[in-house]
Structure 1
Amino acid sequence: MTTIYATLGVQSDATLDDIKQAYRRAAMKWHPDRNPGREAEAYAAFQEIREAYAILSDAEQRRVYDEVFAQEMQRWQTERDAQEAQEREAQRERERIAQEHYEKMVAVAMRFADDDHSRDVLFGVLLGRDCEAELAARIADSVWALQEARRASVVTAEVPDTEVASTPEATQPQHQPSAFESFWQGLFGLRQ
């Protein structure tokens, strides 16, 4: 918002002498006779300068302008703060809805994974539930990785220690990701 102080190029605490000097400089710069080829633009600027000077050179008009301007700035700031608060609340609500949707989609995928459906089935089910393709792929990958980790831990728990020790793989140290690590890696696509 441009103030009449800015139109003259002075601060709001400028003295009357400062205002007169600024008016003379601005009037010389924007006088239509000094701006050939830009007469219309110069005339409009010159009119604004004259109006600003008329208000600021009169003590009573300047006082009224300052009061009205301060009130309008306060009203504008209040409206702006309220609008920003509404936008923040709307953003929080969108995030809450997105989180609920995400949790619902993970629960659906887990239910189908528990029924031994493949990763592609999980992906298709999520797409059928209005889940965006990218999110559906991440969830399907994560849940499928979690199910695979669960199955692997069940299989290793069922194999006797003597059988595991006799396999060549058992002699080499290997890091088996936990169910949480598999889920996390699948969810965010992080691989080591």
Structure 2
Amino acid sequence: MATLYETLGVSEHASDDEIKRAYRKAAMRCHPDRNAGNEEAARAEFLEIKDAYAILSDAGQRAVYDRIFAEEMERWNAQKKQEEAERDAREAQEREAREAIYRERIALAMQFASRGHNRDVVFGVLLGRDCDEASAQQIADSAIALHESRNAAHAQRDDSDHNDMPREKVKETADAAHVNPLGAMWFQFLNNLKL
């Protein structure tokens, strides 16, 4: 909604003479007699201009209008800032909730991938947890790729560890792992310590 100053086309600091000139110019432009075929709209605009001039041409009324307008603008700005802060907080909360769900889905995908399940199983598990298809594909592909790269890194590390050992020691360690399951776990634990 336009202010009374905007209705007359003057600044808030306009002098009385500037307000009077602006009123005369706007009144001539919007007078119903000068707007044939569009009299109703012209009459409504003319009345707005007349009311604006009646207030702004009177020093007392203008002071009251300026004070009330300033108070209302301050209240409106405070309300707008509060609404923006509430919206920002709500958006941050929604974003955190989405990120938490995404982290849970990634953890779930990694859990199934580390158990040796293939990409289709991981994908199906994610779909079963209300994950949309595009996200489920992306997460499943990433989880399987990460798991495979970890396995390749472990295999490469194991090979390099065995290359440093004498051949007899490698055979003994491997034999112990096959014979004794606890030995196999201990062997894996020691390898993981080297990470």
Partner of 1:11, secondary structure, is coil
Partner of 1:27: 27
Residue type of the alignment partner of 1:80: K
Partner of 1:131, secondary structure, is coil
Larger Rg computed on CA atoms = 2
Residue type of the alignment partner of 2:152: A
With the length of structure 2 as denominator, give the TM-score of the two structures.
0.79
Pairing of 1:5-44 with structure 2 (within 5 A): 5-44=5-44
Give aligned-pair identity as a percent.
49
Partner of 1:88, secondary structure, is helix
The 1-side partners of 2:37 and 2:146 are apart by: 74
Partner of 2:130, secondary structure, is coil
Offset of residue 134 of structure 1: 1.7
User: Larger relative contact order (C-alpha < 8 A, sep ≥ 6)?
Assistant: 1
* Structure 1 gap ranges (5+): 162-192
Higher helix fraction (1 or 2)? 2
Runs of 4+ that moved beyond 4 A: 158-161
Residue type of the alignment partner of 2:61: Q
* Structure 2 gap ranges (5+): 164-195
Partner of 2:69: 69
With the length of structure 1 as denominator, give the TM-score of the two structures.
0.81
The 2-side partners of 1:156 and 1:92 are apart by: 43
Residue type of the alignment partner of 1:93: Q
Partner of 2:116, secondary structure, is coil
Cα deviation, 1:82-137, whole Å, max 9, x if unaligned, reads 00000100110011001100110011111111111111111111111111222211
The 1-side partners of 2:88 and 2:116 are apart by: 42
Number of matched pairs: 162
Residue type of the alignment partner of 1:114: S
Offset of residue 20 of structure 1: 0.5
Offset of residue 158 of structure 1: 4.4
The 2-side partners of 1:63 and 1:41 are apart by: 30
RMSD, matched Cα: 1.4
